[in-house]
């Protein structure tokens, strides 16, 4: 197989967009799997369908977000081998990541019953909502191997700087899900089981498409068991992601706590928050495109000990992220009511969601700082600092939200979430000077 063509770092404004643009579109499409499920459920008769989807999606956030290292860690190893034209190294990382995806995915499927029971023992909701949510979970959970394979395949594509193919992969996933959702729920009337089956089929279709996109790399070398199961290589791959795993679990727990606390305020509030959180997820995934650009451009400059180029990469990716966050907030402020209507035609749900819409409008500008800093710290391999910052932020969030929610109800719950975003940025910023000092000292 010919050598892989290494990318040339480009910190110009056009270069930032060439790298970030496809990632933004790709990332925005990620939460659409749950968003489409929410939209079709929101047009059924009663808020319990929408509430059930919210709880079902929360369960999969617990199950899958913790495996985010299969994307981030894979990207790092592939980018390293790609940078030195080590095609065999890229191939080995790909096959090991796919192997781990299958192992973890099959384990999730085998443990589906206890995982389902544990999840709903921790969440408080009415019996009708829990019954529907459990039905959704026990169908969609069979997609676990495919979902984790898509994580690994996406990580490889981003590591190869092939962000267009990463976009095509996510579009294949979500367009399939949209088509099947519209067929199974409104047309065939399969209800929540149809929404789960649509996501299940879409995940396997996407995994197959991802393998097709990387077929040349996969077939470049025979898969040797001794290389695939090399204990030292597998241990390095797992240990390199331990900090990211802890950080991700804290993040998932914090958002899960938000949903669980909203459930205590009743079905209507839970459903309204579910609608708004879909927009929050879309915002975070979109702005993460600039964080990925900071990860790639800032990381390459950091590796070259080029402080000026590092600062330029941070400034330009952050400037575009902030401008985009302002534009996003304005869209929510002006068109928020119309966007809510796309997700539900239930008057009570729409009224409650509109009441808390101002929080969504200010969220992008508050959240963007932590997103950008995440990208910078991942790119410079400062994962221990990320772990420590997230642990501190999560602890602070849990303390603050208890007081704000008691005082202000669901408004207090949203206020607590905004405080959490501020804490994430503040704790990472406290560590940021270490990155600059390490460049002057030669790095560690």
Per the domain annotation, does 8 fall within a domain? no
User: How many angstroms separate the Cα of 430 from the Cα of each of 65, 370, 386, 400?
Assistant: 26, 12, 11, 20
Per the domain annotation, does 426 fall within a domain? yes
Average pLDDT of the residues in 350-357: 86
Q: What is the DSSP string of 247-289?
A: HHHHHHHHHHHHHHHHHTT-HHHHHHHHHHHHHHHHHHHHHHH
Residue 276 pLDDT greater than 60, yes or no: yes
Q: Which of 49-53, 260-264, 288-292, 305-309 has the lowest mean pLDDT?
A: 49-53
Tokens of residue 2, six digits: 């010919």
Tokens of residue 112, six digits: 């589906």
Per the domain annotation, does 7 fall within a domain? no
Burial-class residue 302 by CB neighbours within 10 Å (0-12, 13-18, 19+): buried
Phi/psi at 9 (5° precision): -55, 135
Per the domain annotation, does 277 fall within a domain? yes
**Most confident residue range from 14-18, 22-26, 299-303, 407-411:** 407-411
Residue 124 pLDDT greater than 70, yes or no: no
Per the domain annotation, does 227 fall within a domain? yes
Average pLDDT of the residues in 414-440: 92
Residue 9 pLDDT greater than 60, yes or no: no
The pLDDT value recorded for residue 49 is 72
pLDDT in tens, 170-190: 889 888 988 898 898 778 877
The pLDDT value recorded for residue 33 is 60
How many domains does the structure of the chain reveal?
Answer: 1
The pLDDT value recorded for residue 2 is 47
Residue 247 pLDDT greater than 50, yes or no: yes
Q: Is 162 helix (H, G, I), strand (E, B) or coil?
A: coil
Residue 316 pLDDT greater than 70, yes or no: yes
Per the domain annotation, does 388 fall within a domain? yes
The pLDDT value recorded for residue 35 is 63
Q: Which residues span the domain enclosing 48?
A: 13-440
Per the domain annotation, does 4 fall within a domain? no
Average pLDDT of the residues in 243-261: 85
pTM for this prediction: 0.73
Residue 158 pLDDT greater than 70, yes or no: yes
The pLDDT value recorded for residue 30 is 60
Confidence band (pLDDT; 50, 70, 90) for 320?
very high
Confidence band (pLDDT; 50, 70, 90) for 397?
very high
């Amino acid at each position: 197989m010919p050598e892989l063509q290494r990318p040339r770092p480009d910190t110009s404004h056009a270069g930032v967009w060439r790298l970030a643009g496809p990632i933004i579109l790709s990332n925005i499409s990620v939460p659409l799997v749950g968003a489409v499920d929410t939209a079709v459920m929101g047009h059924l008769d009663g808020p319990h369908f929408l509430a059930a989807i919210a709880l079902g999606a929360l369960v999969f956030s617990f199950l899958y977000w913790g495996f985010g290292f299969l994307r981030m860690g894979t990207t790092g190893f592939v980018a390293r081998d790609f940078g030195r034209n080590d095609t065999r190294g890229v191939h080995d990382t790909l096959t090991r990541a796919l192997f781990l995806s299958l192992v973890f995915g099959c384990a999730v499927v085998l443990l589906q019953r206890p995982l389902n029971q544990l999840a709903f023992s921790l969440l408080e909701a009415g019996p009708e909502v829990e019954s529907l949510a459990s039905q959704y979970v026990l169908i969609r959970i069979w997609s676990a191997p495919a979902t984790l394979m898509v994580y690994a395949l996406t990580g490889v594509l981003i590591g190869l700087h092939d962000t267009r193919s990463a976009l095509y992969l996510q579009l294949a996933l979500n367009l399939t899900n949209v088509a099947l959702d519209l067929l199974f729920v409104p047309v065939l009337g399969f209800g929540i089981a149809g929404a789960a089956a649509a996501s299940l089929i879409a995940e396997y279709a996407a995994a197959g498409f991802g393998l097709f996109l990387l077929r040349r790399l996969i077939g470049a070398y025979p898969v040797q068991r001794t290389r695939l199961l090399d204990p030292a290589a597998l241990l390095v791959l797992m240990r390199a992601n331990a900090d990211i795993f802890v950080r991700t679990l804290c993040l998932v727990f914090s958002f899960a706590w938000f949903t669980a606390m909203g459930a205590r305020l009743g079905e209507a509030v839970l459903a309204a928050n579910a609608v708004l959180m879909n927009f929050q997820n879309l915002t975070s995934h979109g702005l993460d495109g600039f964080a990925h650009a900071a990860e790639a451009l800032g990381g390459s400059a950091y590796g070259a000990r080029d402080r000026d180029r590092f600062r330029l990469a941070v400034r330009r990716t952050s400037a575009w992220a902030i401008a985009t966050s302002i534009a996003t907030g304005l869209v929510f402020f002006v068109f928020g009511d119309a966007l809510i209507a796309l997700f539900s035609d239930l008057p009570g749900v729409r009224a409650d969601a509109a009441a808390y819409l101002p929080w969504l409008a200010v969220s992008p500008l508050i959240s963007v700082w932590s997103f950008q800093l995440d990208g910078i710290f991942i790119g410079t391999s400062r994962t221990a600092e990320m772990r420590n910052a997230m642990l501190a932020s999560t602890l602070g969030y849990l303390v603050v939200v208890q007081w704000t929610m008691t005082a202000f109800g669901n408004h207090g719950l949203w206020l607590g979430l905004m405080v959490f975003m501020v804490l994430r940025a503040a704790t990472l910023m406290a560590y940021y000077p270490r990155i600059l000092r390490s460049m002057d000292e030669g790095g560690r």
